[in-house]
Every structure is written in structure tokens, then in C-alpha cells.
Amino acid sequence: MALDTRTDRRPSLAATLWGSSVGKKTVMAVSGLIMLLYLVVHMIGNLKIFFGAAEFNHYAHWLRVVGEPFMHEEWTLWLVRVVLLAAVVAHATSAYQLSRRDIRARPSRYVHRKPRASYATRTMRWGGIILGLFLVWHLLDLTTGTVHSGFRPGHPYQNVVDTFSTWYGNVIYLVAMVALGLHVRHGFWSAAQSLGVGSGSRDRLLKTTANALALVLTVGFVSVPVAVMTGVVS
């Protein structure tokens, strides 16, 4: 008589959390906040372009040597890139799986129409896709220069001005920044709910903070191409 040597193995805590909707929403919230922090820092860095080519190029060079001599050249920059890549993958994967789970949970149309959601809420998924495609374009445009015919390595100020001197560069960037503002506006409030920070007494403050962050980021990022188009930055 053969003996069954199999043993029942309980899934790990991480696997259990990841398998639950609450766990995926938590991953989305944490990864989203990591990206939001980066966006705030990135926007502040972008605004240095208003202080001239020397200031902006010096800042771009500093990004490559920050942490020296403890960190080798570009090590800190690559560390940030790895963390951001992990956050993007975790965020996108969680969003996709939650979306598929939501669709499977309600295969038929609602009998009663749900209350009309905000524009940002209804476009979160499309906004995420737009931002994902923009991220690829942005890297190919101003990091590798693959889609940038006039790209000059080591001249970030001129590369930015050159990009926003084209109509398609401005259209792509402006559309993406509007999508970003809507995404941040809804995403920040949703992250607070997922992490258990939200409450009836805090909802107004959280929504106000979300609106302020979305507005500041949108205006901050959009100000650069607008400045190039109007000749303020040239």
C-alpha cells in the first residue's frame, strides 16, 4: 500500500496578502505614493530650467554623481530607477488584476444604473495606459534620445528646449500631464482609503490635498513646455 507523503503547505503571508483584493489595493497605494514622491521631486528639478542652461545642466550632472564618494557615479541614480521600475510594475500589475477581478465579479450589466462617478474616476484605467505609453516615449526622447533626432548627449537643457519646440512633443506632453493630474487627484484619495487613513472627518482634507497635489504637479510640469513655446525659456 502506497503512502501519501504529500504534506499540506500553507501559503506564505505575502502570498496570502497578494492574493486578496485588500493586499493588491495596498500594493497599489504604496507603489503609487512612491511614484508620487518621485513626481514631486522631479517637478522641482524640472523648474530649475527657469534659472538658465548652466543651472539646469549642473543639476542634471549632479543627479549622476549624487552620493559620491560613497556611491560610485550613477549608482544612486540607478538605485532610484530600480525602485521606480519596481513601483511601476507593482502598480500596473495590481491595477490590471483588480480590474480583471472586478469584471469577473459582475459579468452582467447592472440592473440599476450606478451613480455617475467623477471624470477622473471613470478614466483611471485609460489614464494609466496613457501614462504608461508616455513614460516609454519620455525615456526614448530625453534619456536615450532614440526618438529625438536632435538629441545631444550631455546637453539636457538644449534637449528639453528642442523637444518642446516641436508641435508633437508639446501635444504628447500636455495630454500626458492632464492625464497625470486626473490620476493623482483620484489616486491619492484612493490610496488613503486603502491604507486606512481615510475617515468621515478626514475626507474633506484628503480630497483637498489630492486636488492641490494634482493642480501643483500639472501646473509645474506644464509650465516648462509653455515657457518654451512662449519664448520665456529658449
| pLDDT, tens digit, 9 for 90 and up, residues 60-111 | 999 999 999 999 999 999 999 999 999 999 999 998 888 888 777 765 554 4
- Global pTM reads 0.86
| The predicted structure's pLDDT at residue 167 | 94
Helix H or strand E encompassing 198: none
Q: What b-and-e string marks burial along 148-180, b requiring 16 or more CB atoms within 10 Å of the CB?
A: beebeeeebbebbbbbbeeeebbebbbebbebb
| pLDDT, tens digit, 9 for 90 and up, residues 91-104 | 999 988 888 887 77
